C-alpha cells in the first residue's frame, strides 16, 4: 500500500471525526493542552455557552472557568497523563450565568497534534439538589446538636451507630467515638451486668411488640462511666423503611430529685398532720373526761 493511500485513510478518519464532532448532541470542545487554547467547538457547545465558533477559537479554556489558571493547567496535565480524566468545574456562559459542569477529557491525535478531546455535561441541577440536601443536613445536625435532648441514630438490622449528638454523649457520660453499636451502648451506659441485661431485655421486648407507646421509658436510673447516678427518660422512634432507629434521651434527674424532695415533704406534712390531729383528738378526749368529772 503506497503513502498516498495511508494519507487518504488518515484524512477520511479526520473528516469522519469532524462530522461526528460537529453534529453530536453532546457538548464538545477540542483544547490545546499546553496553552489551554480552544481549537474547535461543536454546535452543542456553541448553543450551550452562547459563543459562535469564531469566538470560541479565539479564547482560552480559563476564560470560561472560575478556577485559577494554574489549577486549570494542573488538571490539563492530569488529563494528558491519564491520571485523572473527570473534573468538576464551574463554567461561565456568555450571558454571565455560572453553571456546574463535569468535564471528561482524553488525549487524542488530531491533525498531527496531541490535543484534549473534552465532553462537557451540565450537572447544575444535580449540584443544586446536592447543596440543598447538604444544607438541610447541616441545619438538622445543628438543631440536634443544640437541643437539650440527646439524639442518636442506629441501624435496626445490625445496630451500627450512624449519628450521636454531643448532648447524648453528655447525658450518658460516654464518648461519641466509643459507641459503634448497640452492644457498646449498653456496656457503657449500664456498667452493672445484671441491671444491664434486665434493662436490655425489657427494652428489646418492648421494641419487638412494635407498640410506640411502649418505646418510652421514664425515670430510668443509670450510672455513668464516671460513677455519677442520674435518671433519664428515653424514647425510641423506629423508621423500619429506612432500617433506622432514632433514640432520644433527656436527663430528668433534677425533676426526679425535686419529685422525691416534694414526696418527702408531703410525707413529713402528712405525719405532722396526723400528729396534730392525734393531739387534737387527745385534747377533746381529756376535755370530755374533765367535763364528766365535774358533772359527778
C-alpha 87/C-alpha 66 separation (Å) is 13
Instruction: Give the C-alpha separation, 207 to 186, whole Å.
Output: 15
Average pLDDT, the chain: 81
> Angle formed by the axes of helices 182-189 and 193-208, to 10°?
140
Confidence of residue 6 (pLDDT cuts 50, 70, 90): low
Name the residue among 240, 243, 247 with its Cα closest to residue 158. 243
Asked if the domains 3-123 and 147-251 are classified in one and the same CATH topology, the answer is yes
We find that the CATH architecture of domain 3-123 is: 2-Layer Sandwich (3.30)
How many CB atoms are located within 10 Å of the residue 210 CB? 10
Q: Give residue-wise pLDDT tens across range 117-161.
A: 999 999 999 998 988 888 888 887 888 788 888 888 888 887 788
| 233 touches 252 (CB < 8 A) | yes
DSSP 96: S
**The CATH fold of domain 147-251:** Beta-Lactamase (3.30.450)
Domain ranges of the chain: 3-123, 147-251, 254-296
Amino acid at each position: 500500500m503506497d503513502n498516498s493511500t495511508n494519507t487518504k485513510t488518515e484524512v477520511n478518519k479526520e473528516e469522519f471525526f469532524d462530522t461526528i464532532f460537529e453534529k453530536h448532541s453532546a457538548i464538545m470542545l477540542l483544547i490545546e493542552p499546553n496553552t489551554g487554547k480552544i481549537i474547535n467547538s461543536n454546535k452543542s457547545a456553541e448553543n450551550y455557552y452562547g459563543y459562535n465558533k469564531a469566538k470560541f477559537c479565539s479564547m482560552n479554556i480559563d476564560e470560561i472557568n472560575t478556577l485559577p489558571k494554574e489549577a486549570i493547567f494542573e488538571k490539563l496535565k492530569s488529563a494528558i497523563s491519564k491520571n485523572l480524566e473527570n473534573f468538576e468545574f464551574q463554567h461561565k456562559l456568555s450571558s454571565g450565568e455560572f453553571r456546574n459542569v463535569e468535564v471528561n477529557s482524553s488525549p487524542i491525535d488530531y491533525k498531527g497534534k496531541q490535543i484534549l478531546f473534552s465532553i462537557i455535561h451540565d450537572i447544575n441541577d444535580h449540584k443544586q439538589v446536592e447543596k440543598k440536601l447538604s444544607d438541610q443536613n447541616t441545619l438538622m445536625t445543628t438543631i440536634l446538636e443544640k437541643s437539650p435532648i440527646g439524639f442518636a441514630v442506629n441501624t435496626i438490622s445490625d445496630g451500627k451507630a450512624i449519628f450521636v449528638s454531643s448532648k447524648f454523649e453528655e447525658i450518658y457520660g460516654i464518648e461519641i467515638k466509643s459507641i459503634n453499636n448497640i452492644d457498646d451502648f449498653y456496656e457503657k451506659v449500664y456498667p452493672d451486668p445484671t441491671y444491664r441485661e434486665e434493662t436490655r431485655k425489657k427494652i428489646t421486648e418492648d421494641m419487638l411488640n412494635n407498640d410506640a407507646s411502649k418505646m418510652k421509658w421514664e425515670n430510668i436510673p443509670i450510672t455513668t462511666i464516671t460513677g455519677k447516678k442520674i435518671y433519664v427518660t428515653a424514647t425510641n422512634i423506629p423508621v423500619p423503611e429506612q432500617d433506622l432507629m432514632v433514640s432520644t434521651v433527656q436527663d430528668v434527674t433534677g425533676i426526679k430529685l425535686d419529685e422525691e424532695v416534694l414526696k418527702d415533704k408531703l410525707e413529713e406534712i402528712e405525719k405532722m398532720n396526723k400528729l396534730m390531729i392525734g393531739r387534737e383528738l387527745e385534747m377533746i378526749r381529756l376535755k370530755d373526761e374533765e367535763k364528766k368529772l365535774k358533772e359527778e
